[in-house]
Structure 1
Amino acid sequence: VGQSLGAQIAELVAAQREDRISGLVLLTPVPFGGTRLPAEVVAEFQAVGGNRVAQRQSRAELSPELDDKELDRLADMGAVVAPDVVAHYVNLWNNGAADAPAMSAYSGPVLIIRGGSDAFVTADLIGAIAARFAGADVHIIDRGGHWLHVEYPGAVAAMVLDFLESVEGLQS
């Protein structure tokens, strides 16, 4: 299971250890080829480094269903990340890998879960990501944003368990 930029890491691990992986779950994944957002939008994301108020505002915009407690918790965690580190990771997810393959090296079952209110990982990006996998199953949590696992942990857990049951033939 990987979320956002972590989805790329999960995919790489799954491809290298496919014999030990039952399935791959990608939550609001960022594409290997990058988001390719305009410079002015990228600059806004880069500016949140070390800035708790900006961290909170950004998270509120991308996950409108987060309550104040969770927004504060996520903002507190993000605020300690140095501005140059934030800028580096923003560049990674925006620029992507120049040699990103059209198809994933992972050929097993894939579940992609997207938030319908996530203005960052859009339906178009999900379409491009899903196309990299043979038969990826895409689910949408309508009011969910970018931090689905925080906003709707029960719904995400149920989808992951259903997926696991389907690939492993398990009964809960």
Structure 2
Amino acid sequence: MTVELNHLDAGGSGTPLIVVHGLLGSADNWRSHVKQWQAERRVVAVDLRNHGRSPHADGMRYEEMADDLLALMDRLDIGRAHLLGHSMGGKVVISLARRAPERVASLIVADIAPVAYGHGHDAVFAGLRRVQSGQPANRREADALLAEHVEDRATRLFLATNLERDDSGGLTLRLGLDQIEAGYPDIMQAPPGEAAFEGPTLVLRGGRSAYVTDDMLPGLYAVLPQAQLVTLETAGHWLHAEQPEAFQAAVNDFLSSLPDAH
């Protein structure tokens, strides 16, 4: 059963750009980019299931998340769109493109390859559980609880975007953390599908990230044979936040090069 996804619709004309966040992110993380892109086209940023303001539901398989996204496109009367996905969101849009290529005008994949990855979020989940049990009254207390498990401050600031006030005035997580943890083995898998996506594709990777290494490129090109690869040399995995201007420029150059640029 599909989930009715929360979304930000910036309006505009032409072929829409749909933006899909990564694991533990949300549409809110993309607001500054949306403001830039909406001058040129309609932009829709989504909250995937168990993230942001979307409902919580069991199942984090890529087929399920792609179905959610297709259902949103149907609800918004979007026949075809440019799809941009970061990290886990990149696997979602690859899954959708392989299943329904007629719905995809182009694909933009940010710092992820269509391969299975090893588990690497144990400390993050432990930190989020500590916040959940610690019931912080403010963001300083929440950061201290996260810091018991997550050393990197930038990662803690990113995770803190999932905090919201509850009815008692304290801070709580808006994530479906139980569902995400239960579905984590599926999140780490390669996006499903047999066919390659033959449409125009941009793959952006961070030069300081290990998510799209050179030895993954043969597998990437097998799934995305038309991919143009752009490396932002000084960026890590959150390349859109670390190098926002270069990221936007790469996306804009790619979209403007397409036959249906608008």
| Same fold per superposition (TM over 0.5) | yes
Q: Secondary structure at the match of 1:77?
A: helix
Partners of 1:30 and 1:87 in 2: CA distance: 21
CA contact (8 A) 1:56 1:75 kept: no
CA deviation profile, 1:116-169 (whole Å, cap 9, x unmatched):
101344333344223312231111001111111111111111111111111136
Amino acid at match of 2:124: V
CA contact (8 A) 2:98 2:193 kept: no
Q: Secondary structure at the match of 1:48?
A: helix
Q: Secondary structure at the match of 1:156?
A: helix
Deviation at 1:11, TM superposition (A): 1.9
Query: Structure 1 residues 165 and 156, CA, compared in 2 at 3 Å: closer, same or farther?
Result: same
Counterpart for residue 23 of structure 1: 106
Q: Secondary structure at the match of 2:199?
A: coil
Higher strand proportion (structure 1 or 2): 2
CA contact (8 A) 1:2 1:10 kept: yes
1:48 to 106, 124, 134: 124
2:188 to 81, 89, 94: 94
Unaligned runs of at least 5 residues, structure 1: 61-67
Which has more radius of gyration?
2
- Residues 147-166 of structure 1: pairs in structure 2 closer than 5 A: 147-166=238-257
Partners of 1:89 and 1:114 in 2: CA distance: 25
Q: Secondary structure at the match of 1:118?
A: coil
Q: In terms of mean alpha carbon deviation, does 120-129 or 133-142 score higher? A: 120-129
CA contact (8 A) 1:5 1:93 kept: yes
Deviation at 1:78, TM superposition (A): 5.2
Deviation at 1:47, TM superposition (A): 3.1
CA contact (8 A) 1:55 1:78 kept: no
Amino acid at match of 2:109: L
- Residues 1-172 of structure 1: pairs in structure 2 closer than 5 A: 1-31=84-114, 33-35=115-117, 37=118, 42=119, 44-49=120-125, 50=128, 52-53=146-147, 57=151, 60=152, 71-77=155-161, 80=173, 81=175, 84-96=178-190, 100-101=193-194, 103-104=195-196, 106-168=197-259, 170=261
Deviation at 1:34, TM superposition (A): 1.1
Deviation at 1:21, TM superposition (A): 2.8
Deviation at 1:45, TM superposition (A): 1.2
Unaligned runs of at least 5 residues, structure 2: 1-83, 131-145, 164-172
Q: What RMSD in Å do the two structures reach over aligned CA positions? A: 3.0
Amino acid at match of 1:25: I
Taking only the aligned residue pairs, the percentage that are identical comes to 24
Query: Structure 1 residues 18 and 54, CA, compared in 2 at 3 Å: closer, same or farther?
Result: farther
Higher helix proportion (structure 1 or 2): 1
CA contact (8 A) 1:3 1:27 kept: yes
What is the TM-score with the length of structure 1 in the denominator?
A: 0.70
Q: In terms of mean alpha carbon deviation, does 77-86 or 17-26 score higher? A: 77-86
CA contact (8 A) 2:206 2:235 kept: yes
Partners of 2:106 and 2:258 in 1: CA distance: 7
Partners of 1:112 and 1:4 in 2: CA distance: 11
Amino acid at match of 1:168: P
CA deviation profile, 1:47-75 (whole Å, cap 9, x unmatched):
31115337854xx5xxxxxxx6x655312
Q: Secondary structure at the match of 2:124?
A: coil
Amino acid at match of 1:96: A
